[in-house]
Structure 1
């Protein structure tokens, strides 16, 4: 398999004109029933992402190709399940490995629509769940709607790291960039690895450990950010190279989701609904996390008084470190992810957290794209929110664990919060467009 992998990547390196088609096909195969389990699609996607970022394709082209390829794989898998139903178990590979389909079937029957969102990030389940959805006669319009949403987050999570790596290798970056980047990457990966390990093994101190690691990493960053100038400047140059007038409007719309007023309204709505529905402990956790994050971020920002990047024609007057947009967005979505994972095994809790971090990460990165925050600003904001959320969860669960909220509660809380975020973002778009011009 490794020899075949090397041959494919070597051929694509010699024939970059086929790279776009390769990304589309690899994404399709990675999401295709049975084939997605056999083919090392994740490694291939990272490799072709690096090639695309080296100058062959722009980021939006790379993501669009992966997105449409993944959707096609989902549609084919769904069609196979809908066409053959239970007879699909008689296919050669599935007959030899019945656990592939039985595991996906049990997961789908247990979590329904949510399984298609969460299972997208669980390797063995990703290619099998669409086929199971068809096999169990999930309505096609509902499947398409969920699949379109899931494929968008999946394309970003699986292609952006490779593309960014390729772009970084191509650009003339400041001296010391790679050394600083290596230190930050190793520290973040080690921290996340310890958190994942403790969660998967259901360690009693998993939440205090996560809180301690996030806050320790934040403390290190607060002390060491003056020594990461090459990293900040290099990443800023990488992101600013991707600026296009067509993307500015979208990024301003995204960044509005993290504005103070928007987050204040969303947090108040979330806390108010939980209190109204008599979800006392979830409400205390949500309100406490959001308020503590906001107050801590404000205090740190005033203490460090770090200047913003000189990208905007009229720079904002407030300080940039840590990023308030980043901390607010991560706090809000982490609260939702933590509450959604209550009562579920470690793997599913981690997957809900991953899903929750994706919109927060997009909001945080929009600040770097618009040139109003340094990359270490948004990293500090994410660590602050993560540390406070984990600490708040540990405190809430000292006497008894937080129990899962009923689906009827989520059907009220989640659409209301998302509608408010979207409405508030669109409402102030004209003013924001003028504010973030450059």
Structure 2
């Protein structure tokens, strides 16, 4: 596979005008029924995205092409299932590998719409679930709405890392950038690996372990940020280079989702619904996570008193570390992800957490893009939220596991949260009320 991939990337380097088509095609194949299992699209997509980030293709175009390619793969897979129904099992590939579709059927029958969102990030299920949805006669409008959301998140998660890697190698970054980035990446990777292993193995101490690891990393960032100046400057250079008028409004919209007023109202609505439906332990978990993150954030800001970047024409005078937007957004979305994963297998719970990371991480990137926080500020905010979330969950599960929320409660929570976040963000964008200082 290595020689095949090297040949493709070499040809695209010599013919950069075809790079956009390659992003679209690989994304399409990765999400296309049967082909997505056979073709090693994930590795190819990372390599092609890295090539795009080397200065050939803007990030916005790469994300859009990946989104459209993945969406087309979903739609064709859906209509194949809708057209052939059970006869789809006779197609080449599926006839000799019935387990490919059997696993997707079981997953879809068990989790319904949620399977299309979560399964998008599980390799063997991603290309098969849309076809199963068509086989089961899921209404197309409902399928399309869910697929658009899933494809957008998938495009960011699978293309952005490769593109950023290519851009990082291209830019003249500070001399100490790569050693510092390597140390931070290694620490995060080891901690994440240990946490995932403990969770998948069902260790009773997994949640407490995550809390301890988050606290250790958070302490390391607070004590070590003066020694990560090259990392901060390098990432800031990487992000700031791609500022544009076209992207400005979108980034302001995203950062509006993390404003204090927006996050406070979203958390309050979540708590009110949980209490109104008598989900008391869930309410205690949500309250301790969101409120605890807010209190610790303000305490640490005043304790460490770190100055903000001087990117804005009028630099902000409030303190920078940890980022309030990062800690609040991660606390909220991790709370929702944890609640969504209750009562489900460990791998599915981890996938829900990965889905929760996407909107929170987008808010973090917007803070660096706007120049109001250093990268280590948002890293500290993220770790702070992980610590409060894991600690709160360990507390409420001290004697008994937190049960799954009834489906009727989710039908109240999801529309309410979407309405609050979307309404505040749109209002802030329209009236220019985004609060940078948080």
TM-score, normalised by the number of residues in structure 1: 0.98
Q: Which residue of 2 aligns with 1:343?
A: 343
Q: Which residue of 2 aligns with 1:187?
A: 187
Aligned-residue offset at 1:194: 1.0
Stretches of structure 1 lacking an aligned partner (at least 5 in a row): none
Aligned-residue offset at 1:317: 1.9
Aligned-residue offset at 1:429: 2.6
CA distance in 2, matches of 1:415, 1:239: 33
SS of 1:174 mapped into structure 2: coil
Q: Which residue of 1 aligns with 2:166?
A: 166
Cα separation, partners in 2 of 1:197 and 1:435, compared to 1, 3 Å: closer
* Preserved contact between residue 333 and residue 356 of structure 1 (Cα < 8 Å): yes
CA distance in 2, matches of 1:356, 1:51: 28
CA distance in 2, matches of 1:432, 1:358: 25
CA distance in 1, matches of 2:197, 2:317: 42
CA distance in 2, matches of 1:178, 1:2: 25
Q: Which residue of 1 aligns with 2:302?
A: 302
CA distance in 2, matches of 1:95, 1:380: 51
Structure 2 residue 265 is matched with structure 1 residue 289: no
Stretches of structure 2 lacking an aligned partner (at least 5 in a row): none
For residues 391-410 of structure 1, what are the structure 2 equivalents within 5 Å? 391-410=391-410
Aligned-residue Cα RMSD (Å) equals 1.3
* Preserved contact between residue 81 and residue 135 of structure 1 (Cα < 8 Å): yes
* Preserved contact between residue 256 and residue 432 of structure 1 (Cα < 8 Å): no
For residues 360-399 of structure 1, what are the structure 2 equivalents within 5 Å? 360-399=360-399
SS of 1:83 mapped into structure 2: helix
Q: Which residue of 1 aligns with 2:67?
A: 67
Aligned-residue offset at 1:418: 1.6
Q: Which residue of 1 aligns with 2:245?
A: 245
Q: Which residue of 2 aligns with 1:113?
A: 113
Aligned-residue offset at 1:427: 2.1
Aligned-residue offset at 1:266: 1.1
CA distance in 2, matches of 1:352, 1:29: 24
Q: Which residue of 1 aligns with 2:92?
A: 92
SS of 2:93 mapped into structure 1: helix
Aligned-residue offset at 1:3: 2.7
CA distance in 1, matches of 2:42, 2:126: 12
How big is each residue's C-alpha offset from its partner over 1:64-104, in whole Å with a ceiling of 9 and x where there is no partner?
01000001111111111111110111122111111110000
For residues 78-227 of structure 1, what are the structure 2 equivalents within 5 Å? 78-227=78-227
Aligned-residue offset at 1:10: 2.2
Aligned-residue offset at 1:434: 8.1
* Preserved contact between residue 343 and residue 404 of structure 2 (Cα < 8 Å): yes
Aligned-residue offset at 1:430: 4.7
How big is each residue's C-alpha offset from its partner over 1:267-321, in whole Å with a ceiling of 9 and x where there is no partner?
1111111111100000000001111110001011111111111111122221110
CA distance in 1, matches of 2:59, 2:310: 24
CA distance in 2, matches of 1:194, 1:15: 42
For residues 248-267 of structure 1, what are the structure 2 equivalents within 5 Å? 248-267=248-267
Aligned-residue offset at 1:428: 2.7
Cα separation, partners in 2 of 1:395 and 1:386, compared to 1, 3 Å: same
TM-score, normalised by the number of residues in structure 2: 0.98
Q: Which residue of 2 aligns with 1:269?
A: 269
Aligned-residue offset at 1:13: 2.2
SS of 1:317 mapped into structure 2: coil
Aligned-residue offset at 1:426: 2.0
CA distance in 1, matches of 2:314, 2:20: 39
Structure 2 residue 242 is matched with structure 1 residue 235: no
